[in-house]
Amino acid sequence: MKKKHPVKAFFARVWATMLANKQLLVGAILVLIMASLAVLAPVLSPYDPYELTPELMKPPGTPGSNGAPIHWLGTDKLGRDILSQMLWGSQTSLRIGFIAASIAALVGTLIGGIAGYFGGRVDKVIVEFINIFVMTPSFFLILIIVAMFGSRMIYVMIVIGLTSWPGNARLMRAQAISLRNRTFIKSCQAMGESKLSIMFRHIIPNGIFPIVANTTMQISGAILTEAGLSFLGLGDPNIISWGQMISSGKSLLTKAPWVAIVPGLAVVLNVLAFFLIGDGLNRVIAPKMNANK
């Protein structure tokens, strides 16, 4: 029997897993659509998102003046096209979500891996450090840091990432504690392999799967946090984001509700998509979760 190419076999397994898990499939489709819209924003946007037009607070479907394209999702109080802002804002949301969640995954994996594998006093100190972060209200900490150092997007991403790593650290610590007593780890130690080498070559690669699932959910959390910051006026004013659109439209809910409702629905859909992927991955990684289905 002819063997499949490794890459083809991998994608075949991924596809089979998605077909068996509807949550994962729906979430992946939604994320793929949103990512495609974000990448194609320069092509799909009918207007410059910063362009001011004479059509102020026009409802969805209003034709542009002088033969300009239709405002499919209407305009805001400055005459800016909502659809164009939505498309460019999706780039901001996805960029912040992925980068902030990646920072949280990297920091949490390293700290949790060190605590779980080295154990002893190192573990005790790190656990207390994690508990301090867990007890601290992260959103208010983010507010303070952004207010002190500025609201540039790079700062927002770093701050969100550096305040959301404890969950990953706890997961990685539990995985490392479980793995450090396995036979293959004992064999590596007997052969004289260093602790750092064992941690990076064996502990982390074999314990990373729950981190991947949790990080996917953290992407939705980072998107929601950025939207909240922008809504409060602490987002980057030089970059379009869905949170800023909601903030600018909150005073227009009775006159032009689409200005706030459209980006609000986009945030909800985005968060839901990543949550479905994360929950689906959890069910794949821990099949016992399906026992109650």
Q: Give this prediction's pTM.
A: 0.86
In a domain, 269, yes or no: yes
Full domain range(s) for residue 128: 34-46+76-286
Q: What is the mean pLDDT of the chain?
A: 86
Closest CA relative to residue 108, chosen from 46, 58, 197, 170:
170
In a domain, 28, yes or no: no
Mean pLDDT of all residues in 108-131: 93
In a domain, 194, yes or no: yes
In this predicted structure, what is the pLDDT of residue 286? 62
The two structure tokens encoding residue 258: 């689409």
In a domain, 192, yes or no: yes
Residues 176-216 pLDDT 10s: 999 988 888 888 888 888 888 999 999 998 888 889 889 99
More confident residue, 147 or 202: 202
How many separate domains does the chain show? 1
How far is the C-alpha of 243 from the C-alpha of 229, rounded, in Å?
A: 7
Question: Where residue 93 sits, what CATH number does that domain have?
Answer: 1.10.3720.10
In a domain, 23, yes or no: no
How many helices (H) and strands (E) would you count in the chain? 14, 0
In this predicted structure, what is the pLDDT of residue 3? 55
In a domain, 15, yes or no: no
In a domain, 8, yes or no: no
